[in-house]
Structure 1
Amino acid sequence: MIARLISFSLHNRVIILLIAAGMFGWGVYSVQTSKVDAIPDLSENQVIVFTEWMGRSPQLVEDQVTYPLVTNLQGLPEVKYVRGSSMFGMSFIYIIFEDDTDVYWARSRVLERLNSIGNMLPDGATPTLGPDGTGVGHILWYTLDAPGMDLGEQRAIQDWYVKFALQNVDGVSEVASFGGFQKQYEVTVDPNKLTYYNITIPQVIQAVRANNNEAGGRKFERSDIGYIIKTTGYLESAEEIGNIAITTSNTIPVRVQDVATVQMTGESRLGIFDVNGEGEAVGGIVVMRYGENAEEVIENVKVKMEEVSKGLPEGVKFNIVYDRSGLINESVDSIKHTLIEEMIVASVIVLLFLFHWRSALIIMIQLPLAVAIGFILLNAFDISSNIMSLTGIALSIGVIVDDAIVMVENAYRHLAGAEQGKPSED
């Protein structure tokens, strides 16, 4: 088989050269379209299920949320194993699938199972799927540089404007907000006043909940004009909450402000986000979607940031804290220069060793061709160009040269012996 292949190649040199040129062109195209990242994604093929049940102890969350979810999610197809983790008010389920399982097929199977077991969980515990990203998906961190602006206002800008805009970028799975204060209305009841008016906390909660609603009526026509009747009852200020009537005492309404203090405040925090010791900041983490090109996604996010900046309040701008594109470019450039240097050094050594320019040319042509074919295989197996894969190509240069030197030198010796009429040695 090998003898026939060699014979065919010798008798059809033009065809072999055209095939080699075509492979090299395909390889150059593969280099330009290859996914680029700094580090390989070695994370498991997993789907995360997050359930929030605030105010409950870890043991209660484990018994009533984590355990039912783990036992029911174990029967999914192509699942290797299921892990569960419980903490105060939160439950995390990690469903690990086989490596060759499509991640979006896996997410749909998990979502189907969650819809069927939702009634088994306690009220207020609603499981949700985590983002379709991986452990190395955090590609960019940013903060809002807003001197003189309240942290609550900055968080509102991040949550209701910046986050939604950046999530529309192709390849972005999620933009996670951090820092600042999430605004909310806080009703602080006075136990003594509740006792005086003979009112319970559930009554206060029910009164606020019943008065924060909007009801629809119907449509009627009059004089060929259609009118829609509805009520607008959503609470818009702390004063409106304070004026809600809970009950009556001697025909006098007892309002929320009579038994409690209503104020605008921020949600309780477990920590703060500080930048370079200069104080608190508000920002977000851009998470890349599974299997995307990190370099391309980062570039698209930066372009979107320039567009979003036009709609920010005066004086507010983006401050990029972490940008993986710098690490990507430095890593890839370092390996690229190493590859070029190795190819040049190997070519010179081969030329000096053989001291026959035609033989050395055959070996030198194989070096860029082998690298180009390597990138074709990287794209075929959906492997990104990162430190590990490019280092493997760099290390293979020596192996390619060794084999080529042995084969070319052996062929040259046999051909030289045949020209001088000497019998060839096996």
Structure 2
Amino acid sequence: MVEKIIDISLKNRWAVLFIAVVLFVWGIFSIQKNPIDAIPDLSENQVIVFTEWMGRSPQVIEDQITYPLVSNLQGIPNVKNIRGSSMFGMSFVYVIFEDNTDIYWARTRVLERLNYAQKLLPDDVSPSLGPDGTGVGHIFWYHLDAPDMDLGEQRALQDWYIKFALQNVQGVAEVASFGGFQKQYQIVIDPHKLTYYNLQLMDVLKTVRANNNDVGGGKFEMTDMSYIIRGLGYIRNIKDIENMPVSTRNSIPIRIKDIGSVQMGGDLRLGIFDMDGTGEVVGGIVVMRYGENADQVIKNIKAKIKEVEKGLPNGVRLKVSYDRSDLIEEAIDSVRGTLYEEMITVSIIVILFLFNWRSALIIIIQLPISVAVGFILLEAFGISSNIMSLTGIALAIGVVVDDGIVMVENAYRHISLEHEKRG
């Protein structure tokens, strides 16, 4: 079989050269199209269901949220395993699918089951799907350099401006905020005053909820003009909350400031983010969408950050905390340098030992073609160009060189023997 292939190749040299050129061009196209990352994605094909119910203990979360969700998510096609985790105020359910399952098909199936499972959960609980990213999707971290702003203002700037801008970048699944304080109005109730006025805590909650709303009153026409009637009732400051009437006694309103105090504070934090031991900072983690090109997504993020910085307050800048593109570029440069070194080394060795430039040229040509075919296979099987795959190609170059030297030297020896016989 091998002899027939060799015989056909020798008789159709131009066809072989044409196939080699086609493979080389196809390989270049595959290199440009193949996703580039620093590390291989070995994470499981999973969909995360996140549910928040603040203030509840892990046991309550387990009994009323995690267990009903895990029970009702059973039976989804192509599911290998379902894992649940309960902690204070939060529940995580990990639905593990088969490796060949399309991630967006899997998310759709899980979402269909959640529509029914939500009926079994408490009224004020709503589960949601996690981002369509993987365990190695954290490709870019940044933080704010704002020495004249407190942590609460920095977190507000991150949550309401920077985060929304970066989420529009192509290939970004989520921008997770970290650090700082999430501002909130906090009402500190005096239980003795509640008892004195014969009130309950739910009365205060209902009052705040009812008085933080805009109400539409329809349309009023007068002298050929239409006026839209609205009741503007959103909370703007602490005094608006303090003056909310909870009840009345002898026609005198009992306001919130009569039964407690109102203050501006921060939400409960589960951790802090420190930068090089210099103090707390506020920033974000960019999570890449499943199957995207990490190198290209990072370039798009950096371009978007330059636009975002134009709208930041004076003295505020965005600094990079972690950038995976550095590792990606180093991995690519390492493989490229290995390819060049081996081509030059092999050429010198072949020329020194065979004293034949055509033999050296044959070995040199087969190296880039072999690498191009490797990238064609990476693209065909959906494998990204990462440290592991690129290192495999670099190691394979040595094998290709050894085979080429043996074959060329053997062919050269046979040709020399033929010439001696004829001579």
Cα offset, 1:365, TM superposition: 1.6
Give yes or no for contact 1:343–1:397 (8 Å, CA) kept in 2: no
The residue that corresponds to 2:326 in the other structure is: 326
The residue that corresponds to 2:170 in the other structure is: 170
Unaligned runs of 5+ in 2: none
Matched, 1:33 2:33: yes
The CA distance in 2 between the partners of 1:206 and 1:412, in whole Å, is 93
Aligned to 2:411, what secondary structure does the other structure show?
A: helix
Give yes or no for contact 2:148–2:315 (8 Å, CA) kept in 1: no
* One-letter amino acid of the counterpart of residue 83, structure 1: R
The residue that corresponds to 2:288 in the other structure is: 288
Aligned to 1:139, what secondary structure does the other structure show?
A: strand
Matched, 1:370 2:377: no
Q: Summarize the alignment of residues 29-178 of structure 1 with structure 2, pairs less than 5 Å apart.
A: 29-178=29-178
Residues 217-252 of structure 1, C-alpha deviation per residue, up to 9 Å, x if partnerless? 223434433332222222221111111111112221
Q: Summarize the alignment of residues 166-205 of structure 1 with structure 2, pairs less than 5 Å apart.
A: 166-205=166-205
Residues 298-345 of structure 1, C-alpha deviation per residue, up to 9 Å, x if partnerless? 111111111011111111111111111112112221222122212322
Residues 169-214 of structure 1, C-alpha deviation per residue, up to 9 Å, x if partnerless? 1111111111111111100001111121111111111111122222
Cα offset, 1:380, TM superposition: 2.1
Cα offset, 1:215, TM superposition: 2.1
The CA distance in 2 between the partners of 1:364 and 1:159, in whole Å, is 55
Matched, 1:250 2:250: yes
The CA distance in 1 between the partners of 2:350 and 2:64, in whole Å, is 70
The CA distance in 1 between the partners of 2:189 and 2:178, in whole Å, is 30
The CA distance in 2 between the partners of 1:410 and 1:316, in whole Å, is 68
The residue that corresponds to 1:227 in the other structure is: 227
Unaligned runs of 5+ in 1: none
Which is further off, 107-116 or 33-42? 33-42
The residue that corresponds to 2:396 in the other structure is: 396
The CA distance in 1 between the partners of 2:155 and 2:402, in whole Å, is 61
Number of residues paired by the alignment?
422
* One-letter amino acid of the counterpart of residue 316, structure 2: V
Aligned to 2:85, what secondary structure does the other structure show?
A: strand
The CA distance in 2 between the partners of 1:116 and 1:86, in whole Å, is 21
Cα offset, 1:163, TM superposition: 0.4
Residues 21-50 of structure 1, C-alpha deviation per residue, up to 9 Å, x if partnerless? 222122233333332211111111111110
Cα offset, 1:353, TM superposition: 4.1
Residues 51-70 of structure 1, C-alpha deviation per residue, up to 9 Å, x if partnerless? 01111111111111111111
The CA distance in 2 between the partners of 1:82 and 1:56, in whole Å, is 23
Alpha carbon RMSD of aligned pairs, Å? 1.7
Give yes or no for contact 2:350–2:356 (8 Å, CA) kept in 1: no
The residue that corresponds to 1:3 in the other structure is: 3
TM-score (norm 2): 0.95
The CA distance in 1 between the partners of 2:361 and 2:330, in whole Å, is 32
The CA distance in 2 between the partners of 1:254 and 1:159, in whole Å, is 36
Which is further off, 409-418 or 184-193? 409-418
Cα offset, 1:270, TM superposition: 2.7
